[in-house]
Structure 1
Amino acid sequence: MTKFGVLVFPGSNCDRDVAYVTRDILKQPTRMVWHQDTDISDLDAIIIPGGFSYGDYLRCGAIARFSPVMQQVVEHAQKGKFVIGICNGFQVLTEAGLLPGALVRNQDLHFVCDRSPLKVERTDLPWTQAYTKGEIITLPIAHGEGRYHADDVTLAEIEDNNQVVFRYEGENPNGSLNNIAGICNSTGNVLGMMPHPERASDAMLGSSDGLKLFSGLLEQVAALV
């Protein structure tokens, strides 16, 4: 069994969606972790969900980064344990320094809510091992500040280190550099992505393209036990 923890900040609104996937579809123990909690030692994987943590005041993810639980998330990641940030969660991970770069206002300055095709760039990660390299999947997107940005040196390092996990295929919905939709850290245990895999994990909703992201991790954790 894989023990999942779903962080809950004031303003989180996708936390229950993620928990539905891990707890109800995949039948894995799942704990909702309030942002003031400081003990996550029992958990295998931390999910930072989408939403508007602290109302997105100041800057998306900027206040959430200072929540008590985030120091524990940083230590969790440094131990090689698994962390994924989805949409607002991706923003939190960049603010916390767990992933390089930043997410800034969409190129046209409009909030975008749509489905977007993605190309899977890496399948050697626990998160993506259930996909095939180059596979095109479709996931929902919903963000106003989802344009990935990094300076030239950082962007080159990301590309050279093969840290891009997902790219937008076809039309780029927000102006992200190099069509980047998701990246990982250098060791591959921390993943951040703007699209929402949890919203495409139940066939009843019309797509299960996102379910492989979570099920692939289960196989990895089981192998480690």
Structure 2
Amino acid sequence: MSVAILQFPGTNCEMDMAYAYKLIGAPYTIVWHQEHCLPKDTKLVIVPGGFSYGDYLRSGAIARFSPIMQAVSEFATQGGYVLGICNGFQILCEARLLPGALKRNENLHFISQNQKLCVKNTNNAFLRHYQENSIISLPIAHADGCYFIDEQSLLTLEDNGQILLTYVDNPNGSVANIAGICNEHKNVFGLMPHPERAIESILGGLDGLEMLTNLYKNATTTKHEQ
């Protein structure tokens, strides 16, 4: 029951994520973007951070057309768990697996810092072991992290409990301070902060490790069609 970690030209966080799941004790496979199928035993797909295709055209816009993304879309449609982090979040939005879009930070600067976040909804496999409204800290590193969605769709996110994390002291201008969301069925998740960079005390905290562990445990105990 392995974790499939995607790799695109320009991805730079796939090995960080692999190390995180090595700590968890979960088997993983690095999957090149030109592959047409996920490994047969895949229970969780990770779309990691980086600069896929150099962020040309628009962040995630080219990677969305890579062959492996068709397999990821089918996996998600069948109930499989998918997590996109930073550039991975951008790719999932471009692929319409998540609503909304990520655009240039409001201040037009690349932001790299530890960021306080508020846990908004815990009725999901990603944050189930957290308390609502608790404050955690994860690193962020992005230039195109400003989440945007229209007013009506924002109300839908709120009504369905799809807003997972919000920024404390919004660093990039995201609508409603949104830092992470999920889809309506709560099996596709996306966030701009990097949980794989908060997996050891020496790195400043373990909040990220708990998130990734929660998701893996739920993914491996939930049945979905393949």
What secondary structure, in the 3-state scheme, does the structure 2 residue paired with 1:6 have?
Answer: strand
Which residue, out of 212, 215, 220, partners 2:218?
A: 220
The alpha carbon displacement at 1:222 in A equals: 4.3
The alpha carbon displacement at 1:117 in A equals: 0.5
Deviations 1:82-116 (A, max 9, x none): 00000000000000000000000000001000111
Distance 2:188 2:141 in 1: 21
Distance 2:201 2:136 in 1: 14
Answer with 117-126 or 59-68: which moved more. Answer: 117-126
Q: What is the aligned partner in structure 2 of residue 18 from structure 1?
A: 17
Q: What is the aligned partner in structure 2 of residue 32 from structure 1?
A: 30
Q: What is the aligned partner in structure 2 of residue 182 from structure 1?
A: 180
Q: Is the 8 A contact 2:80 2:219 kept in 1?
A: no
Aligned residue pair count: 222
1:16-165 alignment, distance < 5 Å:
16-23=15-22, 25-40=23-38, 41-165=40-164
* CA pair 201-73 structure 1, distance change in 2 beyond 3 A: same
Distance 2:157 2:204 in 1: 33
Deviations 1:44-93 (A, max 9, x none): 00000000000000000000000000000000100101000000000000
The aligned amino acid for 1:42 is D
Deviations 1:117-173 (A, max 9, x none): 11111212111112122111100000000000011221121112211000002x100
Distance 2:136 2:211 in 1: 11
Stretches (4+) displaced over 2 A = 221-225
The aligned amino acid for 1:91 is Q
The alpha carbon displacement at 1:206 in A equals: 2.1
CA RMSD of aligned residues (A): 1.1
Identity %: 50
What secondary structure, in the 3-state scheme, does the structure 2 residue paired with 1:210 have?
Answer: helix
The aligned amino acid for 1:176 is S
* CA pair 221-93 structure 1, distance change in 2 beyond 3 A: closer
Distance 1:196 1:218 in 2: 16
Distance 1:6 1:223 in 2: 19
Distance 1:46 1:69 in 2: 11
What secondary structure, in the 3-state scheme, does the structure 2 residue paired with 1:83 have?
Answer: strand
Q: Is the 8 A contact 2:118 2:136 kept in 1?
A: yes
* CA pair 222-67 structure 1, distance change in 2 beyond 3 A: closer
The alpha carbon displacement at 1:218 in A equals: 3.1
* CA pair 175-81 structure 1, distance change in 2 beyond 3 A: same
The aligned amino acid for 2:187 is N
What secondary structure, in the 3-state scheme, does the structure 2 residue paired with 1:18 have?
Answer: helix
Q: Is the 8 A contact 1:131 1:212 kept in 2?
A: no
Structure 1 residue ranges without an equivalent (≥5): none
Structure 2 residue ranges without an equivalent (≥5): none
TM-score computed with the length of structure 1 as normaliser = 0.96
Q: Is the 8 A contact 2:2 2:27 kept in 1?
A: yes
Q: Is the 8 A contact 2:43 2:220 kept in 1?
A: no
Q: Is the 8 A contact 2:44 2:219 kept in 1?
A: no
